[in-house]
Amino acid sequence: MIHIKDLKSGLNIFKALSSDIRIEILGLLNTYESLNLNEIAEKLGLTNGAITMHIKKLEESGLIDITTAVGKHGIQKICYLNENMLTVDLRSKETENVYEVDIQVGHYSDYYAEPTCGLATKDSIIGEFDDQRYFADPQHINAGIVWLNKGYLEYRIPNYLKSNQRFKELQFIMEISSEAPSYNNNYPSDIVFSLNKIELGSWTSPGDFGDRKGNFNPQWWPPHLNQYGMNKLLRINDEGTFIDGCRISDVRICDIGLHQQSDIKFKIAVSETGQSGGLTIYGRNFGNYDHDLVARVMFDVVNS
């Protein structure tokens, strides 16, 4: 996710989006996932020379990324979307009350896992594949990827609010997918989110993606395993609970009963009643997005 916190910092992106052709290129990459320059030019009915400038603008803005590959006609440039979400804060954040923490995906406070399952750091697998005992290994806090067929991961979010402050909104940003043996791009899984044992709602992951190498996966990560997930934004506020702006339940932040002394326990679980296609969560050094589990707390100051 690209998050523009003030308008001036987003000028390059706004300029990149000011062209109808560049918007069409983004649409093609959204549809086909990746295309080379010849394919983009052909689909838009333009020359390679005309496309090159637009591709450069999109790459400079960070909206797309480019890799090279050897093809029948020499080295080709392959383009794909660098992010799947763009958010813009139109109001200045200077006066907004917010704090943000990054939590390593292996730094869970509680778990339950059934095979296929495992976890790995950027350097190696922790223990052995499909042996849930290693979820308790002290090295688990350093994991950059965690996967399980059935079960859950629970994370403890620090509560820094003072007595005159009130929770306004909680946000969680995470890269997640299903969990299939090896990988399977068509492998639905209903993933349930809870906060302090109150179910917030669920999201259906369409698959466990492995058709191409994840952008940040270490070189040793086997190509036959899952490679990347989908970046999702979960928000709980006074209006309800949302994923990527779509309402998933009417649970509001006031229903959680948070206050200054509250624990904040965020749980991600494989549904026990829906499509049980497992869960994978990607952190820094794995997947397509270079971040861990991001927790953002927004709050109001209450006048005494």
Mean pLDDT of the chain: 92
Burial readout 81-94 (b: 16 or more C-beta within 10 A, e: otherwise): ebeeeeeeeeeeee
Q: Which residue has the higher pLDDT, 84 or 21?
A: 21
How far are the Cα atoms of 114, 214, 275 from residue 104, in angstroms, in the given order? 21, 18, 27
pLDDT band at 2 (very low <50, low <70, confident <90, very high): confident
φ/ψ (deg, to 5) at 264: -125, 105
Per-residue pLDDT of 212-246, as tens digits, reads 999 999 999 999 999 999 999 999 999 999 999 99
Q: Helices 20-32 and 37-44 meet at what angle, rounded to 10?
A: 120
Tell me which amino acid residue 204 is. Answer: T
**Domains plus CATH for the chain?**
2-86 (1.10.10.10), 97-301 (2.60.120.260)
pTM: 0.75
Please calculate the CA angle 147-152-154 and round it to the nearest 5 degrees: 105
Tokens 């954040």 locate to 93
pLDDT of 192 strictly over 70: yes
Per-residue pLDDT of 49-76, as tens digits, reads 889 999 989 988 889 988 887 766 678 8
Report the SS3 class of residue 15.
helix
- Report whether 238 contacts 159 (CB < 8 A): no
Mean local confidence (pLDDT), 29-44: 91
Euclidean distance between the first and the last CA atom of the chain, given in angstroms as a whole number:
37
Amino acid 103: pLDDT: 97
Pairing verdict, β 264-270 and 34-36: unpaired
* DSSP one-letter code for 125: B
